[in-house]
Amino acid sequence: MGRELRAGDCVAIVGAGDIDTMARAWLATVESEDWDRHAERLSAVVSTQTRVKREESLARKTTIGLGGAARLYVEPANSADLQALVKTAKTRGVPVIMLGRGSNLVVPDDGVNALVISLRQPAWETFEARADGRVWVGAGLRLKNLCGLAAKVGLVGFEFLEGIPGNVGGALRMNAGAMGGWMFDVVEEVAVMTLDGEVRTLNKADMHVDYRHCAELHDAIALGALLKPASQSEAASIAKQIEAYKEKRQKTQPREPSAGCIFKNPTGDSAGRLIDASGLKGERVGDAEVSAVHANFIVNRGNATASDVIELVRRVRARVEAAQGVKLEPEVLLYGKHWKDVL
């Protein structure tokens, strides 16, 4: 990242007015040039199908629709390019952070000082039903498509994924769950790439997975997973179950842009119930609002910023703690940062 400001470097701007402002502007320019150079190096090691972008807006790549840009953003076309990217980033000390469908994230307004990698190209969207009944899915496959394709070939057990707007990679990292099912209920193996570019297969039994968390994917990239259906059935009856889940969601969740449930449910209770009981439905900071439909959703009423959401999270937490004696912990991730640094 950016070079350190050295005394000698400052001479030209000292005495020219507001030193702090000038020094900051100088640093920003130096950092920007550094990111330009990183972009050039990364572009040089990948195929032409992989495009490296500078200052790519992430707001449009998240479901809540807010936040700043990625200093560097790449959609690798294949595994060799991904490997070249992470190896080069490691050598140059550039942090790497994965982006799924952006449905569990709040991107800070000043963006992300990292190389953001998204597996959106077709090579990552595989759905391969095997003869033994198991199915291989790529990390970039949307859960909606996984659910639909599995139903088509008569595989039972993936219906709970209907309506979770992420992809397989994000669902593995978050151990996404709904309607009594969890992502890792159906996982047998996960293929990962380490940040050294090494590809490994991890068995579920060796992985550390709990509520909205998979430890092995903190510092590794999920490439895909081998999934095991619960059973097989007629496509029509699976589709019926999917439809029932869809209806349930439509009745209980807001339609406005959001990042899903903002807080984790505390053991034995529901964050939504606690927020509602604290009289916070409709509470608003700027265009960020606690949904009147489901109190554990913060929705974007149009032009919300990440700062609005952070301030609302702070307010909700304080009020719930005062009224109910429970400290809620965010489930949604503050992309590239830690909540503890801003709350």
Give the residue numbers marked as catalytic: 212, 261, 331
Considering the complex, state which of residue 27 and residue 293 has its C-beta at the smaller distance from ligand FAD: 293
Strand 105-106 and strand 333-334: the pairing is: parallel
Cα 168 off chain centre by: 11
Cβ atoms of residues 199 and 223 within 8 Å? yes
Nearest to 75 by CA among 169, 189, 163: 169
Q: Is 98 in the site for ligand FAD (CB under 6 A)?
A: yes
Q: Is 89 in the site for ligand FAD (CB under 6 A)?
A: no
Q: Is 296 in the site for ligand FAD (CB under 6 A)?
A: no
Distance CA 312, CA 333 (A): 15
Strand 288-290 and strand 284-285: the pairing is: antiparallel
Q: Is 316 in the site for ligand FAD (CB under 6 A)?
A: no
Strand 105-106 and strand 127-129: the pairing is: unpaired
Size of the site for ligand FAD (CB under 6 A): 32
Nearest to 117 by CA among 144, 94, 146: 94
Q: Is 170 in the site for ligand FAD (CB under 6 A)?
A: yes
Among 38, 71, 101, 294, binds ligand FAD (CB under 6 A): 101
Q: Is 171 in the site for ligand FAD (CB under 6 A)?
A: yes
Q: Is 186 in the site for ligand FAD (CB under 6 A)?
A: no
Considering the complex, state which of residue 2 and residue 177 has its C-beta at the smaller distance from ligand FAD: 177
278: how many CB neighbours lie within 10 A of its CB?
20
Q: Is 330 in the site for ligand FAD (CB under 6 A)?
A: no
SS3 content of the chain, % helix, strand, coil (to 5): 35, 25, 40
Segment near ligand FAD (CB under 6 A), from 103-111, 225-233, 276-284, 285-293?
103-111
The helix/strand/coil state of 74 is strand
Residues 115-134 that bind ligand FAD (CB under 6 A): 119
The tokens for 174 are: 């978050």
Cβ atoms of residues 312 and 298 within 8 Å? yes
Beta-bridge mates of residue 39:
none
Q: Is 97 in the site for ligand FAD (CB under 6 A)?
A: yes
Among 165, 181, 266, 286, binds ligand FAD (CB under 6 A): 165
Segment near ligand FAD (CB under 6 A), from 87-95, 226-234, 253-261, 276-284?
253-261
The tokens for 219 are: 């510092």
Helices (H), 210-339: 235-252, 271-277, 306-324
Q: Which stretches does DSSP call E strand in 211-303? A: 213-214, 220-227, 231-232, 258-261, 284-285, 288-290, 297-300
Among 108, 138, 169, 330, binds ligand FAD (CB under 6 A): 169
Considering the complex, state which of residue 12 and residue 266 has its C-beta at the smaller distance from ligand FAD: 266
Q: Is 294 in the site for ligand FAD (CB under 6 A)?
A: no
Considering the complex, state which of residue 265 and residue 278 has its C-beta at the smaller distance from ligand FAD: 265
Q: Is 105 in the site for ligand FAD (CB under 6 A)?
A: yes
Q: Is 164 in the site for ligand FAD (CB under 6 A)?
A: yes
Least distance in angstroms from the C-beta of 150 to ligand FAD = 17
Q: Is 197 in the site for ligand FAD (CB under 6 A)?
A: no
Distance CA 252, CA 122 (A): 33
Among 32, 43, 57, 63, binds ligand FAD (CB under 6 A): 63
* Interface with ligand FAD (CB under 6 A): 63, 97-105, 119, 139, 164-167, 169-171, 173-174, 176-178, 217, 221-222, 253, 258-260, 333
